[in-house]
């Protein structure tokens, strides 16, 4: 992986940072209740990881997070480095995943893995909720029903629309693959980590924020994934058209060497 940042690439990264900072101005922020939404910021950092790779996508996330906080969000609460870590992961995890897929293509449909991850994530979350005595019985039941309906709805949506939203066979940026990493990174950032940072900032317990983030996360992941896919589809699914540096993540792989043959 080439860690150098070339001039053209730096310019494009700067444009994405500026766009993420501007869009963060329109976020719905109420962090004390755990209901803040950073949609515009999220899909820009997501795309930066897709186009520039994990490290450079992480840099876009860190810089845009710091700028947006000190320019617009300082009045909503104190600074916490945990959210800067979340911003780094928002670019790093998709970047690592997508660049792995580019050079080690997986031809199988990712509908089943996406559904399986959602089932495992919700099963673990519901088990955790039922172990917390502070939660009322109606809340535990409501979260369980919500988890089931969300998983079932997503499964039928993907199964019924997969032929419409898939790119050519083996393409790493088909919607099913984008949605998979969208759910993975959002679950890590929004459900597992964000309640921890919020509890440290505002003095409320982790359990106070966990149900709120659990309900929000599938909608945020779906919205980010659909937006990122729509933009990527319009531009073209090959990031080398956008990036100035086309060095692959696994430059010693047999696929890369095969591509270099005349």
Question: Which three-class secondary structure string do you get for the chain?
Answer: CCCCCCHHHHHHHHHHHHHHHHHHCCCECCHHHCCCECHHHHHHHHHHHHHHCHHHHHHHHHHHHHHHHHHHHHHHCCCCHHHHHHHHHHHHHHHHHHHHHHHCCCCCCCHHHHHHHHHHHHHHHHHHHHHCCCCCHHHHHHHHHHHHHHHHHHHHHHHHHHHHHCCCCCCCCCHHHHHHHHHHHHHHHHHHHHHHHHHHHHCCCHHHHHHHHHHHHHHHHHHHHHHHHHHHHHHCCCHHHCCCCCCCCCCCCHHHHHHHCC
Domain assignments of the chain as residue spans, ordered by start:
7-260
Whether the predicted model's global pTM rises above the 0.85 cut: no
Please give the class, per CATH, of domain 7-260.
Answer: mainly alpha
- Render each residue's pLDDT in the chain as its tens digit; 262 residues: 555 667 778 888 899 999 888 887 776 555 555 556 666 678 889 999 988 889 999 999 999 989 988 887 666 667 889 999 999 999 999 999 888 877 777 777 777 788 888 888 888 888 888 888 778 888 888 888 888 888 888 777 777 766 555 544 445 677 888 888 999 999 999 899 999 998 888 888 898 888 888 888 888 888 888 888 888 877 754 555 444 444 443 343 333 344 444 4
């Amino acid at each position: 992986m080439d860690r150098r940042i070339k001039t053209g690439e730096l310019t494009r990264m700067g444009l994405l940072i500026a766009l993420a900072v501007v869009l963060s101005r329109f976020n719905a922020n109420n962090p004390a209740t755990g209901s803040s939404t950073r949609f515009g910021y999220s899909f820009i950092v997501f795309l930066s990881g897709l186009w520039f790779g994990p490290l450079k996508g992480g840099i876009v996330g860190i810089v845009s997070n710091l700028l947006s906080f000190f320019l617009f969000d300082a009045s909503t609460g104190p600074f916490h480095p945990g959210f800067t870590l979340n911003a780094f992961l928002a670019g790093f995890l998709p970047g690592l995943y997508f660049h792995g897929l580019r050079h080690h293509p997986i031809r199988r449909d990712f509908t089943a893995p996406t559904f399986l991850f959602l089932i495992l994530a919700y099963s673990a979350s519901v088990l955790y909720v039922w172990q917390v005595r502070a939660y009322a019985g109606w809340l535990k039941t409501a979260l369980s029903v919500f988890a089931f309906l969300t998983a079932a709805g997503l499964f039928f949506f993907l199964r019924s629309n997969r032929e419409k939203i898939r790119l050519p066979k083996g393409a790493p940026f088909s919607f099913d693959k984008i949605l998979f990493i969208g759910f993975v990174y959002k679950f890590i950032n929004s459900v597992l980590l964000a309640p921890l940072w919020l509890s440290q900032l505002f003095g409320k317990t982790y359990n106070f924020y966990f149900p709120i983030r659990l309900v929000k996360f599938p909608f945020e992941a779906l919205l980010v994934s659909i937006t990122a896919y729509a933009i990527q589809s319009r531009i073209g699914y090959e990031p080398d058209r956008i990036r100035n540096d086309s060095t692959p993540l696994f430059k010693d792989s047999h696929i890369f060497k095969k591509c270099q043959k005349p």
